[in-house]
Amino acid sequence: MVLLSRRPCRAIRCRAFSTKHAVDGPIVHIPHSSIYPLGAGAKSGSLFRDVSWTIQPDEAWAVLSSSSSGAKTSLLQALTGHLRISPPPPPPYGLFPFLKGRDPHRHVSLVSFAHRPQNAGGAFYDFTARYGAVREEDKRTLRETFFPETAKPLHDLAIPDMYQHPDDVAQLHADHAKEKIRRELFEVLTSALDLKQFLDLPMVALSNGQTRKARIVTALLEQPELLILDEPLTGLDVGTRGLVLSLLQSLHVKNAPHIIIGIRPQDPVPDWTTHLALIRPDGTVHTGEKHNVMSTSTYSKAHRRSAAETLRHTPSTFHAGNEMITLAGVSVTYGDRKMLKDIHWTIRENSRWHLIGANGAGKTTLLAMLTGEHPQSYTQSSKLTLFSRPRAKWATPQLHARIGRVSPEMHNAFPRRHGMTVWDAIGTGFEGNFVPRGRFRVGFGADGAELEKGGEEEGWRVRRMWDVIRGLGPATWRGEPRGESEAREAQMFSERPFADLAPGEQAMVLLMRALVGKPPLVLLDEAWAGMDEGMVKAARTYLREGGLEDGQACIVISHWEEEVPWSKEDGVQRFRLEQGSGRVE
């Protein structure tokens, strides 16, 4: 187990944190209850049972599930009124005794990074807009999106004539004082999380990690008294993780706000946490002091299972073949900002790469050059050879059919159209587009025409669809063997509307989509985000054990070494981006 820094964040010097906030009474109190979905009838099964959970003010809690990240998210949601607790926490103060009856909606916040937000609309939106000249509608900056009030200066208080009643004047003074603290907090938090330089960049230009840090700052600026963060470390590089954790610790020790943190079993448990709530596979919840919970077999099994997976080796190593992609001095510039400088990188058939670099280092930008989505891939065409031709010699749709990929941007942008089934979504992978086409919804041919009816290609595609749906389908997430019921379940899964799936299921379907056409190059950018433990295991096993065939190359982007399906011994190579330069490690 890795324990992270015990040193609180020194950067946090701000009135909001100058004194420890006195708290009276438990923060949370659930008395031996069961927890049900809202609106579920008396006879329906509980999501959790035997939950006895009391959080005292001087305790720091982490929550994790031994089986599914969805269960952890649900338990955290129970704290924000999204589930029914029965019997309910006793009066007079209920679930949050320390609030003494004040409105939990105003004082308790939950921010989830475990699951990506759903894309509300049915249409695909062009996530590649960030790489080119920013369009008018994408011009909203980080500041305008998350912190609009900070664009205006805070003037000294001038009390308008209309406010004459002493109560109104007092309220105005109080609001002004609160706003002043908020501004101070904004300054402190944006420098502590290294966001200042990005405040006036268009939102679309920001990297994932930069956006996630901004969400943490927004949540803290609301000054809740209890802040629940579900997987706040998702998508953050090692250094930023340490920064965020020590910031949270500094806030927590002052009770400004009190913090509960949701983590995955494989994540390091922050060393400043004192207690754990561990959800067992049977829905009971073991709550208690950290060392007691961590000494149980349920915890060590969950933790060991994640670790063991990373240690297992596939029997064969990869024998790199011919050159597939060559970058010979590629650069990317935004105005006078040189994002990527003179990158040299050769990706061969059969190779496995782990692309690493801090948040904002340019990993996604580099992949956008490989996929030809970045407009600067044209201007650099002579230095960018993709599948044996300079970039400019390729029509972009032809490139898309040769590259299977998943990424957070793709996940957010993928259309959640009414009527699009799981089958349809996966079938778009053959062409790498977003519109289901063809009589079996497995796409058109390379020439853009319908596939020959009953022809070899059509037959192969339909068989291949079943291969990936069964190879990565729901039964595999539960570790169940193939069989009749598994086949039926796969069939039913293929017919479900894509938009109705849970975020982890959608991530799994998009992985199937990336793999279905057996493209020469597979790009897995934060592919596991949102997936349950069982799904991650199934996906990694599939990739290691025949999911990629001879010749296919794969690049994985992840801030967690252990998330790469292959180990160094298997032959994975690392390409590191640092301050715009790239090197093979």
Binding site for ligand ATP (CB under 6 A): 130, 134, 198, 201, 205-210, 334, 337, 339, 357, 359-365
| Structural tokens at position 32 | 């031996």
Distances (CA, A) of 354 to 363, 382, 402, 583: 11, 25, 20, 12
CB closer to ligand ATP, 47 vs 111? 111
CB closer to ligand ATP, 172 vs 339? 339
| Structural tokens at position 390 | 């300079």
CA-based R_g, the chain, Å: 26
Residue in the structure block whose two tokens are 């208690």: 288
Cβ burial of 253 (10 Å; 0-12, 13-18, 19+) is: middle
CB closer to ligand ATP, 253 vs 410? 410
Q: Angle at CA 331, nearest 5°, toward 327 and 333?
A: 155
Question: Nearest distance from residue 337's CB to ligand ATP, in Å?
Answer: 6
Q: In what order do the strands lie in the sheet with 573-578?
A: 403-406, 521-525, 553-557, 352-356, 573-578, 581-584
Question: Nearest distance from residue 215's CB to ligand ATP, in Å?
Answer: 13
CB closer to ligand ATP, 364 vs 494? 364
Measured from each CB, the residue nearest to ligand ATP is 209
Question: Nearest distance from residue 77's CB to ligand ATP, in Å?
Answer: 26
Q: Angle at CA 89, nearest 5°, toward 84 and 92?
A: 130
CB closer to ligand ATP, 40 vs 339? 339
CB closer to ligand ATP, 73 vs 234? 234
| Structural tokens at position 138 | 């994408």
Question: Nearest distance from residue 287's CB to ligand ATP, in Å?
Answer: 34
3 state SS of 332: strand
Question: Nearest distance from residue 255's CB to ligand ATP, in Å?
Answer: 31
CB closer to ligand ATP, 369 vs 490? 369
CB closer to ligand ATP, 51 vs 577? 577
- The neighbouring-strand residues paired with 403 are 521
Question: Nearest distance from residue 208's CB to ligand ATP, in Å?
Answer: 4
Question: Nearest distance from residue 65's CB to ligand ATP, in Å?
Answer: 26
Question: Nearest distance from residue 210's CB to ligand ATP, in Å?
Answer: 6
Closest CA to 64 of 311, 268, 297: 268
Neighbouring residues of 519: CB distance < 8 A, sequence distance ≥ 6: 401, 402, 403, 404, 432, 552
Closest CA to 1 of 239, 356, 285, 306: 306
